Amino acid sequence: MRAKTGNGGLSGAARPWRYAIPALTIFAGTLFAASASTAHGTDLRGGGRTKVTELIAQEQRQYQGSQTRYRHLRRQIEGLVRAAARRDARVKAAQETADRLAARAGLAPVTGHGLRVTLDDAPTGQRIAGDPGPDDLVVHQQDVQAVVNALWTGGATGVQIMDQRLISTSAVRCVGNTLILQGVVYSPPFRITATGDPGRLRAALDASPAIQVYRQYVAEYGLGYTVRTLKKTTLPAYAGNAQPKYATALEPDGANPHS
């Protein structure tokens, strides 16, 4: 500690604190004001903070509302198209072609024999040999996708994950140990159902290298994997909005002929 001068004043080295302390006080007050403004008068760490789960639930409610409006509008459009088909032969021919392709595209229900594959996380609260990491004990996006790909390879006429029919633009995504499909969040166990020849579908599952790896984790760490034959099952039509993307041919000089 530095000593005082003879006249009782601060030494030269200590004198800058005379100005620094008020500046620090003003700075701290500014931070408190900004914090209060950001929190709108609530505790930033308290119950007023929106949780991620609440945001997901809110997004799902909005999605379900949008889907309800979409289905209502879609029924209106289908009614108008079929009414026009009764008056115009060209519209009728186009509608008949669309009806023939609807089942293959996932836009109409399909019924037949099939399989149901169920994937599940390893049981919690149990001691597991081998010191696995958290990622070793949950179903991942690539596991679900491997089952879907194998079923298509086995000649599936339709595939459904949980309660949703898959189409060509469907994308499987996982966040943590939850699955997001077409705007809806699902928790394990994940059920994948396919229509087709059960023997061919099972053979395709058994032949998949990715599923063989997954089954090693089933044997070692207790992940869930069951395959059940269905004598008869019906997959619903895809009820969402299809937004296909496609390639556009370019002219030799790189110009887009449709621009």
Q: 24 to each of 17, 20, 31, how far by Cα in Å?
A: 10, 6, 11
Asked if 232 and 113 count as a contact pair (C-beta separation under 8 A), the reply is yes
Residues 192 and 171 in one domain: yes
The mean pLDDT of 117-133, rounded to a whole number, is: 82
The mean pLDDT of 64-73, rounded to a whole number, is: 72
Residues 96 and 121 in one domain: no
Residues 161 and 142 in one domain: yes
The winner for highest mean pLDDT among 23-27, 41-45, 178-182, 232-236 is 232-236
In a domain, 88, yes or no: yes
Residues 115 and 206 in one domain: yes
258 or 134, greater pLDDT: 134
What range defines the domain where residue 94 resides? 52-100
Residues 123 and 220 in one domain: yes
Long-range CB pairs of 102-106, under 8 A, 24+ apart, other chains included: 102/237, 103/157, 103/158, 104/157, 105/167, 105/168, 106/158, 106/165, 106/166, 106/167, 106/168, 106/237, 106/238
Residues 202 and 125 in one domain: yes
Residue 159 has pLDDT above 50, yes or no: yes
Residues 231 and 120 in one domain: yes
Q: 224 to each of 122, 139, 189, how far by Cα in Å?
A: 6, 9, 8
Q: Hey, what are 54's tokens?
A: 């609440």
Residues 213 and 117 in one domain: yes
According to DSSP, the residues that pair with 158 across neighbouring strands are 195
Residues 119 and 85 in one domain: no
How many folded domains does the chain comprise?
Answer: 2
pLDDT tens readout for residues 165-209: 999 888 888 887 888 888 788 999 999 999 999 999 999 999 999
